Amino acid sequence: MIGHRRRQRGLAAVEFALLLPILLMLLFGMIDAARALQANIIITNISREGANLVARGNTQLETGSQEIMYALMASAPPLNVNQQGMVYITRVMGVVKSGVATSVVLDQYRWDDAARNLGYRSSSYQPASRVYGCTAWIGPQCSGIGSTSRPTVSTMSGQLADGEVVHVVETFYRYDMLLATAATSALSLPALGPDLYSMTVF
């Protein structure tokens, strides 16, 4: 009888040892998903508030874009946005020629705060904008856009009246999974990230 109980306890210990890694992976997977959800909610709120501030405020982007971005990113904790975050503000205008409506970029700004040493100059984190991929920057402003060579983009294409301007705010966050490389032949965790993204048009 005693030997039977010992064997039962031994089997239970072996089963637990076999199941423990899977249970731990599931636990950390749930924690990762919760952290990613929280980060996504935060960057979504930042993009919405940013678009609202830019569209309704009186701040000139040429001189005040970094003040807006600083205010937005100050509301981002617990995210480490200074090392893993980026904001783009892009002004897009509708153009109608010969009855065909398109969208062009007026200007674009990134988070690159020289006064506070924040954003790109601190982290070098610069995922490509999904509105317009600028290839030449002078500080926070894209320098590759001229009044005679405005790039055409797909954002709001065909939906804007001639001369109508909208502001597009994009937020990125490089999310680091707790178990980024965790995988077995039988179980692998889904990848979350690495770049969480949100875009708001206002």
- Summarize the confidence of residues 152-167 as an average pLDDT: 96
At 157, is the pLDDT very low, low, confident or very high (cuts 50, 70, 90)?
very high
Annotate 112-179 with DSSP letters as a single string.
EETTTTEEHHHH---PPPSS-----EETTEE-S-BTTBPPEESTTTTTS-TT-EEEEEEEEEEPPPTT
- List pLDDT tens digits, range 32-56: 889 999 999 999 999 999 999 999 8
Q: What is the pLDDT of residue 177?
A: 80
Q: What is the pLDDT of residue 88?
A: 99
- Summarize the confidence of residues 15-44 as an average pLDDT: 89
At 184, is the pLDDT very low, low, confident or very high (cuts 50, 70, 90)?
very low
State how far the alpha carbon of 74 is from the alpha carbons of 28, 102, 193, in Å. Answer: 28, 35, 22
Domain residues for 96?
Answer: 2-201
Q: How many domains does the chain have?
A: 1
Q: Does residue 188 surpass a pLDDT of 70?
A: no
Q: Does residue 13 surpass a pLDDT of 60?
A: yes
Bridging pattern class, strands 141-142 and 85-97: unpaired
- Distance between CA 18 and CA 30 in Å, rounded? 20
- Summarize the confidence of residues 62-78 as an average pLDDT: 95
Output the pTM of the full model. Answer: 0.84
At 187, is the pLDDT very low, low, confident or very high (cuts 50, 70, 90)?
very low
Please tell me which residue, 193 or 116, carries the higher pLDDT value: 116
- List pLDDT tens digits, range 93-139: 999 999 999 999 999 999 999 999 999 999 999 999 999 999 999 99
- 116, 50, 39: which is closest to 80 by C-alpha? 39
Q: What is the pLDDT of residue 6?
A: 67
Q: What is the pLDDT of residue 185?
A: 41
Which range has the worst mean pLDDT, 16-25, 176-185, 188-197? 176-185
